[in-house]
Amino acid sequence: MLKILKVGVLSAGLFICAELYAQPQEMPAVNPEFKNIDLNKDNYISADEMRTYQSRKFKELDRDGSGDLESSELKNEGAALHKNADLNNDGKVSADESDRQFREYFRQMDKNSDGQVSEAEYTDYWKLIYKF
């Protein structure tokens, strides 16, 4: 009787482990920033949603309202990404330069080139950037 009980417990344990490992291995982390960008809440970021987000962030960083991000406005870590957009190296980032940068980010994030970025693609991209 004890052997039957042991076999039953062992079988149940194996069944539970098999169920756990049968789950999809690529479970994207819940990413609050992704959720902020995904305006229509369809779990994908479109190019338009990315552009809207970029525009909103640009306006937040442009504290003096000049239409350019000056180096004094680019102090925090998120703003450092905007510094890379200064294509003409004039010490400020124009709205056009910022838009070009975000279009490039979107292109790089969209690994399968389907015109939308999944949460997994978004998370994977930033893991590469910040080397988590």
Residue ranges of the domains in the chain? 28-130
C-alpha span between 47 and 116 (Å, rounded): 7
- The torsion defined by the Cα of 101, 95, 82 and 68, in degrees rounded to 10, comes to 160
State pTM to two decimals.
0.64
C-alpha span between 117 and 38 (Å, rounded): 10
The whole-chain average pLDDT of the chain stands at: 75
pLDDT in tens, 27-83: 444 478 899 899 999 999 999 999 898 888 888 888 899 998 887 776 665 556 666
Which DSSP string corresponds to 16-49? HHHHHHHS-S--PPP-HHHHHH-TT-SSEEEHHH
CATH says 28-130 is which class?
Answer: mainly alpha
C-alpha span between 115 and 78 (Å, rounded): 24
Instruction: Specify the amino acid at residue 34.
Output: F
